[in-house]
Chain A
Amino acid sequence: MNVDHGKKKPGTRGGIKRKVGLTAGVLLMLGAATSASAADYGARFLQQYGVKASIAPAMTPARSDADGLYERYSPVESKTNQPRNVVSGTNPHNGADLAMASGDRVYAVLPGKVTEVKPDTSAQLGSVIIDHDTDGDGTPDGVYMQYVHIDPAGSSSSGIRVGDYVTETTVIGTVDRAKRYNPHLHIQQVSRGRSGAADIQTMPMYLFYRHTSLETWNAGSDLDYVSADWQDGNMLYLTAYAGTDNPQTNQYDRNRPAEIQLHYKIGSSGKWKMSTTKFSLYNANTLRYRIDLKKATGAAKGQKVYVYAAAIRANDPTFPNSAAYRHGLWPQFYKQPDRVLYAASSARADAASRMFTIQ
């Protein structure tokens, strides 16, 4: 499975360098569909809708004390659950990258049972998958988290192995040293306990960390493109920003996208267009945006509109010469609408869009 090609060391073959993330979310509350599966549109990234729920209050995989009790919110430095190249829909980044130090301990975010341990020999370096026990009753719940680019704590007999039950204070590995990639933890929720499963998909992680603060992961939004979805009447809310390292402050800033476009068609046989109305900033602290779907599309009450959104940053310092890398799209999907600005591929746009009934 294609996990991460974003942090290759200089000079390594394949050449795509470290990425800086575009994290964006768009939200809506649709009663009809609670999730969209791969079968719907050939997606790699599974949608999760809903703003109030919390799957389980997970701990962070990084800790600041040797006992593993104090959480550490490492900055998210990646585009999350998006193709890096939005035009071709290729080179996906499944999950999120956390800026952790080389050799830093990696802890299980919840208790659970280890389903896969890969040693440090694969293209993605080492990895571990855990079937997490989200309700704490001692039984795994089929919620799989994969921890990648680590040296699994598995090379000695006391290290972890498949079948082990681990707790939140169990060290499952350490962040790999700068070999193939610059050191970081790649973390993602997946749908299967084995990374080689043919039908494996990447899930949203946002709901694990919905509780976090604006200072850390912006209530989980850093960790997922679709961070929360909310529809109030015809108003569609989204969270969108680009996470970029700031050379002046040595911090990751959350920068507003240059614009957030709404692409739409009215009725199933309509023609795809880009609205001249853009999403407007609703809350500057949380970087929430919104748009009135009725006004933006001109649709009448009772009409069905199909939409997808594109949050576009002014530039991407990681890929300064490629406009194709500046987009983040909602809904998430592996095969993006090609040439998204013009919606040239109506079939892909159809597959990716969400439908609303104008009120």
Chain B
Amino acid sequence: MRKRITITVSGTLILALSLAAGIALADSGIWARADKATGRQAADQGFLVHMPGRADKQQAASSIDPATGKAAKRAGTAAAEGSTGTFTAKLAADGLNQTLTFRYAQSGSGIRVLPSPDLGYELLTLPDGRVLVEVAASIYRLDPEKRTLSVFLKGETGTTRKTARGPVSGGSAKMVVWGQRASLSPDGTKLLYWTTRNITVTGNEDGENWIKDLRTGTEKKIYGAGYTLLGWDAKNRFYLDLGDNGIVQVDSGSGASAKLVSGFSVSAVSGSHLLSQTTDGSLNVRDLSTGKQHTFRGSGLNHLRSIASSDAGPWFALVNAPDRSSRGSTLILLNAKTLKAHTFEEPAGASIIGVSWQDEKTLLVQARNRTTAGESTYVLDIGKEVVE
């Protein structure tokens, strides 16, 4: 459950606010103080996961038997701490009869199933420990303790059946995506997923966003075409990045929607704020509880390569290109509530290649050495590094 953050900001809805914060630019000490792990690590719903990086992939490639094509070593995920095991579960439903392999870590409270894209599926861990698995263009429920897989989505909606095929247009019938990209609302009552089931009616593959009410089991369309899910706010509204069509906010209960950003932006959503950059040198910061928007400038902000947000906020990590044609980046930590920012140069001799939040105070920064190509992950304690 995300924390609801109350922000008291007064003034006009759009308030141009330029901050020349007293920034500790080039505070290289942050990297020396941070914990540092070898390889690439990222968080999955707060759980630390070792991801296959360059070295892992190269080792896997070199382990492939040229005659059989089989690899002796996989480039897969692993628990960043402790041991990683595997188990199998049989999926016998919807015309499927296959055995899936899952990776897991033994955590204090039980089994934690690890995301493993190299095994051919996506997954989402639910608060009750069960896991939703996306395979064969649909979503199934895995009980990791019992090691069983079962149907999760209804097999038909109205007159549309899961086993139906899309219209034939001279070639093969189109494959129906019954459900994928599952995401849970902050209050845990609704599951958002994307589907192309309307293809049997429209012939169009742009898809729709659907909600499954986990209390009643009902499933309904909540919004039309739209990808990618940026995240949820504390009011159970979700945000879709529609690329050049902007960013839309959708109420998961009523389906009411509002376009908050027009056109392409580099953007991210936390439970409390939406950040979007549409113009170099400035950043729009929207308070999602009040709807008020501010413009952040300064702190060396130029062109953003990416933004990462924690679920709760208020901190955002901005990967900023001072010169967009140059490889160099700076890391800007921005408190969306106070609009105070802290800017850091990259680790010496390294490039930042990705950032993610383990929790609202712990930032994981993936970096690659520009000479050795070695990858590492810095774990920054924002509470210690940023004193406000």
Q: Which A residues lie at the B interface, using CB under 8 A?
A: 9-11, 15, 17-20, 27, 29, 51-54, 57, 60, 64-73, 99, 101-105, 111, 113, 120, 133, 135-139, 151, 153-159, 161, 163-171, 173-175, 177-178, 182-183, 210-216, 218-219, 221, 228, 230, 232, 237, 239, 245, 247-251, 282-283, 285-288, 290, 317-319
- Give the segment of B8-16, B148-156, B272-280, B287-295 that binds chain A: B272-280
Q: Are B264 and A169 in contact, CB atoms less than 8 angstroms apart? A: no
Tally B residues with Cβ within 8 Å of A. Answer: 102
Cβ of B384: which chain A residues have Cβ within 8 Å of it?
A: none
Please list the 6 inter-chain residue pairs (A to B) with the smallest Cβ-Cβ separation, ordered nearest first.
A174-B243, A57-B57, A286-B69, A215-B120, A103-B227, A138-B327
A271 and B265 alpha carbons, distance in the complex (Å): 61
Question: What are 9 A-B pairs with beta-carbon distances under 8 A?
Answer: A17-B171, A66-B228, A70-B42, A101-B194, A101-B207, A158-B278, A164-B325, A250-B176, A318-B171
A248 and B138 alpha carbons, distance in the complex (Å): 13
Residue of A nearest to B368 (CB): A136
A73 and B40 alpha carbons, distance in the complex (Å): 18
Residues 155 to 212 of chain B near chain A (Cβ within 8 Å):
165, 167, 169-178, 180-181, 194, 196, 203-207
- Give the segment of B27-35, B71-79, B125-133, B214-222 that binds chain A: B71-79
Q: Are A138 and B370 in contact, CB atoms less than 8 angstroms apart? A: yes
Q: Are A10 and B68 in contact, CB atoms less than 8 angstroms apart? A: no
For residue B38, give the distance in angstroms from its CB to the closest CB of chain A. Answer: 15
Q: Is B355 an interface residue (CB 8 A)?
A: yes
Q: Are B305 and A170 in contact, CB atoms less than 8 angstroms apart? A: yes
- Give the segment of B58-66, B104-112, B250-258, B336-344 that binds chain A: B58-66
Q: Are A104 and B227 in contact, CB atoms less than 8 angstroms apart? A: yes
For residue A246, give the distance in angstroms from its CB to the closest CB of chain B. Answer: 9
Cβ of B268: which chain A residues have Cβ within 8 Å of it?
A: 66
Q: Are B171 and A317 in contact, CB atoms less than 8 angstroms apart? A: yes
Residue of A nearest to B355 (CB): A67
Q: Are B61 and A211 in contact, CB atoms less than 8 angstroms apart? A: yes
Q: Are A113 and B243 in contact, CB atoms less than 8 angstroms apart? A: no
A153 and B354 alpha carbons, distance in the complex (Å): 19
Query: Besides A101-B177, A111-B353, 15 other CB < 8 A contacts?
Result: A64-B115, A64-B117, A66-B269, A72-B122, A101-B180, A102-B206, A105-B227, A138-B351, A168-B354, A169-B355, A215-B120, A228-B64, A249-B94, A251-B137, A288-B67
For residue A139, give the distance in angstroms from its CB to the closest CB of chain B. Answer: 8
